[in-house]
């Protein structure tokens, strides 16, 4: 690694460790946790959409799967949320293959549209499924603080370190993918599936692999969310707006890059909070207008995302 | 024994018959030229052989194995490489990465794949362009890249769709020489080509298609005198005059 890279990583590490000292207000702390969570979701989405070129607008399904699996297993079987997290990941991976197999017959926009449809179907099912609380949702019982219970009330900082761990794991796996054959195959499929097949790449199998990685991390994020908020319903755990937000963060940050999606979350999540705090009370949706205008500006003037902007600034 | 065998291959799209009862063989080590006017069904036949289309009837066998029903990637792994008429480089990947992706079915590690890929780039004369994005190449360079990429899958049979199409006159001799060297490597080739001078120089045998059917087959010198072929290209009046 170059000296500047080492320094940059060291500075980032110091910042990350110091955050609990800086963000003392609950509001700021919550914001930081949100940034890390959404950064991970966006990067997980990026594995499928950025590297492999399959734009999904149904990723909320996997988020909901993770959240609901761990919660239902706790309520019904008294299972540890950590085992529930694992179960949610496995179920989401299975579900991703069932959804992916037929949907991957579709190309480009048609694949994206199909994933919206699947997302809506799954949310509708959840809204009417009594066993998982239907539209009323599910509340998790409050337990004393412990890592085993995955609940922290006196100090919320353990949540910060857990979500940081999830994000770093997701980034590490993404970095591995970028450097290995899987990543090369993903990019070839993104560029041209027909040409990829002509050099011996089993296209559908590799799309399914990308989908599995992507779904797994989003589901883990879902379980984290359930343990953090301790309440779930289909409107909050698997709405279309969540799928779109995940996509948006990655696109604004920089699709197909390792740091872009996290960067997107680090900029957009506080920005949406800020505009809401500053202008949200007017009742005229000024916050959303400003937020929308900023997004449009990025899309028009910097289609490579914020990561592309940084790369240019560094003169590469 | 033939390396590639086509028996009664037919493919239709709705009411359009693209290939009708096509039969011919390709023997190991030879270069077969596939010619015919636009719309004769040459590219469709390539797509049928390489698994992009499933034929409505007929048999395609490669080294004794039936290919019908296999996917393109499976056909490639059995040893058939191909290029496309409309070039399809991985645009946002570098030239070297384009070829590495193809090498990786044999050498999964990027480092080893990169080394082998460089060899193919040297062979086609693109060694200096390895770190350039494929979208930045000229048409002639893209043709060479497609060739390197197809070669990198280590095929026994290479199917080239329009080697010199859309390339300026100066570039043609280099590409032709390259294909000559492929034969020296022991490869068997099926080549679609419109430039008659090129095909006469390269091919051991020519198969001529017209409206989806084989209308002539044999050594180049004989096939170009074939009445039906002249009619197909130039119309009946010229054929009668000749």
Query: Which pLDDT tens digit goes with each residue over A120-166?
Result: 999 999 999 988 888 888 999 888 889 988 999 888 889 999 999 99
Q: What pLDDT score does A153 carry?
A: 87
Smallest Cα distance from B130 to chain A, Å: 16
Q: Which residue of A has its CA nearest to B46?
A: A198
Q: What average pLDDT does chain A have?
A: 90
Instruction: Inspect the interface and report whether the beta carbons of B92 and A191 lie closer than 8 Å.
Output: yes
Tens digit of each residue's pLDDT (9 = 90 or more) over A10-40: 887 887 777 777 777 888 888 999 999 999 9
Instruction: Inspect the interface and report whether the beta carbons of A197 and B149 lie closer than 8 Å.
Output: no
Question: Is B153 an 8 Å CB contact of chain A?
Answer: yes
DSSP state of B5: E
Residues of A with CB under 8 A from a CB of B: 179-181, 184-185, 187-188, 191-192, 194-203
Tens digit of each residue's pLDDT (9 = 90 or more) over A265-309: 998 888 888 877 877 776 677 777 877 887 788 778 877 788 888
Residue A199 predicted with pLDDT over 50: yes
ipTM: 0.92
Q: What pLDDT score does A24 carry?
A: 76
Contact at 8 Å (CB) between A193 and B72?
no
Query: Contacts of residue A199 in chain B, CB cutoff 8 Å?
Result: 73, 76, 81, 101-102, 105, 149-150, 152-153
Q: What pLDDT score does B175 carry?
A: 87
Tens digit of each residue's pLDDT (9 = 90 or more) over A206-217: 999 999 999 999
Helix (H, G, I), strand (E, B) or coil at A283: coil
Residue with tokens 């946790």: A33
Q: Which two tokens stand for residue A273?
A: 């909070």
Task: Using alpha carbons, select from A112, A93, A95 the residue that is nearest to residue A104.
Answer: A112
Q: What pLDDT score does A315 carry?
A: 63
Query: Contacts of residue B149 in chain A, CB cutoff 8 Å?
Result: 195, 199
Across the strands, what pairs with B127? none
Cα–Cα distances in Å, from B227 out to A192, B70, B129, B205, B209?
A: 41, 38, 46, 17, 13
Contact at 8 Å (CB) between B97 and B137?
no
Task: Using alpha carbons, select from B157, B54, B155, B72 the residue that is nearest to residue A197.
Answer: B72
- Mutation target for A interface from B101, B108, B161: give the one with most A CBs within 10 A: B101
Burial of B25 by CB count in 10 Å (0-12 exposed, 13-18 middle, 19+ buried)? middle
Smallest Cα distance from B25 to chain A, Å: 22
Instruction: Inspect the interface and report whether the beta carbons of A198 and B82 lie closer than 8 Å.
Output: yes
Question: Is B110 an 8 Å CB contact of chain A?
Answer: yes
Give 10-residue mean pLDDT values along chain B (242 residues).
94 93 95 92 96 96 95 97 94 97 96 96 94 93 94 96 83 88 92 89 93 93 85 71 50
Helix (H, G, I), strand (E, B) or coil at B39: coil
Query: Contacts of residue A191 in chain B, CB cutoff 8 Å?
Result: 89-93
Return the H-helix or E-strand segment holding B162. none
Cα separation, A222 vs A66, whole angstroms: 5
Dihedral pair phi/psi, residue A152, rounded to 5°: -140, 120
User: With a CB-CB cutoff of 8 Å, which residues 27-66 of chain B face chain A?
Assistant: 50-52
Q: What pLDDT score does B242 carry?
A: 46
Dihedral pair phi/psi, residue A30, rounded to 5°: -60, -40
Question: Is B236 an 8 Å CB contact of chain A?
Answer: no
Helix (H, G, I), strand (E, B) or coil at A112: helix
Return the H-helix or E-strand segment holding A70. helix A60-77
Instruction: Tell me which residue in B93, B105, B113 faces A200 most closely, judged by beta carbons.
Output: B105
Burial of B121 by CB count in 10 Å (0-12 exposed, 13-18 middle, 19+ buried)? buried
Query: Contacts of residue B88 in chain A, CB cutoff 8 Å?
Result: 192, 194-195, 198
């Amino acid at each position: 690694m170059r000296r500047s890279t080492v320094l940059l990583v060291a500075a980032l590490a110091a910042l990350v460790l110091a955050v609990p000292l800086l963000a003392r207000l609950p509001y700021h702390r919550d914001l930081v946790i949100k940034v890390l969570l959404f950064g991970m979701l966006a990067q997980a989405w990026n594995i499928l959409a950025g590297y492999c070129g399959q734009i999904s607008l149904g990723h909320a399904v996997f988020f909901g799967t993770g959240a609901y699996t761990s919660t239902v297993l706790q309520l019904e079987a008294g299972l540890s949320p950590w085992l529930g997290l694992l179960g949610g990941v496995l179920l989401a991976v299975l579900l991703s293959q069932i959804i992916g197999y037929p949907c991957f017959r579709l190309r480009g926009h048609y694949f994206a549209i199909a994933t919206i449809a699947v997302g809506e179907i799954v949310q509708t099912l959840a809204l009417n499924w009594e066993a998982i609380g239907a539209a009323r949702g599910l509340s998790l019982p409050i337990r004393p603080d412990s890592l085993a219970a995955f609940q922290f009330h006196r100090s919320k900082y353990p949540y910060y370190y857990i979500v940081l761990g999830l994000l770093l794991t997701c980034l590490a796996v993404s970095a591995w993918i970028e450097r290995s054959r899987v990543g090369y195959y993903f990019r070839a499929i993104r560029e041209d599936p027909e040409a990829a097949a002509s050099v011996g790449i089993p296209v559908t199998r590799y799309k399914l692999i990308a989908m599995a990685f992507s779904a797994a991390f989003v589901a883990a994020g879902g379980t984290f969310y359930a343990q953090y908020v301790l309440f779930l319903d289909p409107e909050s755990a698997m709405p279309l707006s969540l799928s779109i937000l995940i996509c948006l963060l990655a696109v604004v940050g920089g699709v197909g890059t390792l740091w872009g999606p996290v960067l997107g979350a680090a900029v957009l999540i506080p920005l949406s909070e800020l505009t809401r705090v500053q202008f949200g009370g007017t009742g005229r949706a000024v916050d959303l207008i400003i937020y929308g205008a900023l997004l449009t500006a990025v899309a028009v003037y910097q289609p490579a995302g914020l990561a592309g902007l940084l790369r240019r600034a560094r003169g590469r | 024994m033939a390396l590639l065998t086509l028996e009664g291959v037919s493919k239709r799209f709705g009411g359009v018959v693209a290939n009708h009862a096509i039969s011919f063989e390709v023997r190991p080590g030879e270069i077969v030229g596939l010619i015919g006017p636009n719309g004769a069904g040459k590219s469709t036949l390539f797509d049928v052989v390489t698994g992009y289309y499933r034929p409505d009837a007929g048999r395609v066998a490669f080294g004794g194995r039936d290919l019908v029903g296999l996917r393109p990637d499976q056909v490639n792994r059995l040893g058939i490489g191909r290029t496309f008429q409309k070039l399809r480089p991985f645009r946002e990947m570098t030239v070297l990465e384009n070829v590495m992706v193809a090498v990786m079915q044999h050498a999964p590690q990027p480092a080893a794949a990169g080394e082998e890929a460089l060899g193919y780039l040297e062979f086609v004369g693109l060694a200096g362009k390895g770190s350039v994005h494929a979208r930045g190449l000229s048409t002639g360079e893209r043709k060479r890249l497609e060739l390197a990429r197809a070669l990198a899958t280590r095929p026994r049979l290479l199917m080239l769709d329009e080697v010199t199409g859309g390339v300026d006159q100066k570039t043609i001799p280099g590409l032709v020489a390259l294909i000559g060297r492929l034969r020296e490597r022991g490869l068997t080739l099926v080549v679609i080509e419109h430039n008659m001078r090129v095909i006469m120089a390269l091919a051991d045998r020519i198969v001529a298609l017209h409206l989806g059917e084989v209308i002539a087959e044999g050594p180049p010198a004989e096939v170009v005198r074939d009445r039906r072929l002249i009619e197909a290209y130039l119309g009946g009046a010229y054929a009668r005059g000749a």
